Structure 1
């Protein structure tokens, strides 16, 4: 049977989109290929015509969602400090905390990526550096190394605070973590492009 041109690419995207949501909500190890394929409206057997292994899917999903996140970051940063302040407010919000399935892959994947094979960790590292470089390029003061350090600190603060706010059982403490992180992040970007 012949399929229309582009159908395989569309199907591959459906699998990646389903994986992106499930991996962020449940974690990579908790998600099986059969359930993932069912979410994408496909049979388990079709998986291997798109990916040679689950690890390849993990890596491709990770790079895809980080590329999407990077594009949105670029768009917001182009708005100057107001765009960055909006990113901070949205990132460190109750809505983001409560919806990991559509949330930041840095906060959702970082702990698990540390236990993945080197090739997957390298892909994550490259995307993280790209995020930091984009942010660092828009700070208006200090030498390049200092701007890059601030960008990594900002990314670490935001993703770490989001992870902690999701992990604690005390709702008030969760809100406090987000509020403190928002305040600290906004202070960090005072020298950001106007």
Structure 2
């Protein structure tokens, strides 16, 4: 059977998109190659026409998923004329982001697993994390000194990822909402304290 030009690339893209969502929603170790390939209507053997190993797929998914989430956040933040940093915090620590990890930030979905992945996978994760820090830093108030923007971005990112991870982990819906609300407040207070000290 002959396929149209570009068929292999399209198939690879389908695998990456499906895996990226599944990894964020279910965790990397919970997603097997067989079930993933079933999701996209292909056989397990077909997987190895595209990837040398599951870890190769994981690395590509982290890169692609990080870029896609960053673009979504950047578009929404760009639509906010006033205090884009606050808009980013509100968007990140929203119930929508909590309830749809498959479309959200790789750090909130997978940071707990990254420490157990190979160094090459953690390097790809680190690149996505650095890009998110750059996005946060670009939204911060201009009166915050350039030398302090990166450390503040790290603090805000850590606050947001920790809050989101816990909001997803607890079984009590009211507690989850409280964690999101307090995470938003704590993240905002980090920025406001830095502004006050400037």
TM-score (norm 2): 0.88
> How big is the shift at 1:121?
0.3
Contiguous gaps of at least 5 residues in structure 2: none
Single out whichever of 16-25 and 73-82 deviates more from structure 2: 73-82
What whole-Å deviation, never above 9, does each CA across 1:65-102 have from its counterpart, x for those lacking one? 10112222333343444544333223212232222222
Q: Distance in 2 between matches of 1:4 and 1:189?
A: 53
Q: Are 1:134 and 2:140 an aligned pair?
A: no
Aligned to 1:3: 3
Which of 143, 149, 155 aligns to 2:151? It is: 149
Q: Distance in 1 between matches of 2:27 and 2:147?
A: 34
Aligned to 1:45: 45
Aligned to 1:73: 73
Q: Distance in 2 between matches of 1:61 and 1:38?
A: 18
Q: Distance in 2 between matches of 1:87 and 1:135?
A: 8
Aligned residues: 191
Contiguous gaps of at least 5 residues in structure 1: none
**CA 1:7 to 1:151, structure 2 compared with 1: closer, same or farther past 3 Å?**
same
| RMSD over equivalenced CA pairs, Å | 1.8
Q: Distance in 2 between matches of 1:134 and 1:54?
A: 30
> How big is the shift at 1:21?
1.5
Single out whichever of 132-141 and 11-20 deviates more from structure 2: 132-141
**CA 1:111 to 1:84, structure 2 compared with 1: closer, same or farther past 3 Å?**
same
Q: Secondary structure at 2:139's aligned position in 1?
A: coil
Single out whichever of 112-121 and 130-139 deviates more from structure 2: 130-139
Q: Secondary structure at 1:41's aligned position in 2?
A: coil
What whole-Å deviation, never above 9, does each CA across 1:17-44 have from its counterpart, x for those lacking one? 1111211121101110000001111111
Which of 152, 160, 171 aligns to 2:162? It is: 160
Q: Secondary structure at 1:169's aligned position in 2?
A: coil
- The question of whether the paired residues in 2 share the 8 Å contact of 1:165 and 1:177 is answered with yes
- The question of whether the paired residues in 1 share the 8 Å contact of 2:63 and 2:125 is answered with yes
Q: Are 1:181 and 2:183 an aligned pair?
A: yes
Aligned to 1:36: 36
TM-score (norm 1): 0.89
- The question of whether the paired residues in 2 share the 8 Å contact of 1:81 and 1:189 is answered with no
Aligned to 2:56: 56
Q: Distance in 2 between matches of 1:70 and 1:129?
A: 11
- The question of whether the paired residues in 1 share the 8 Å contact of 2:85 and 2:136 is answered with no
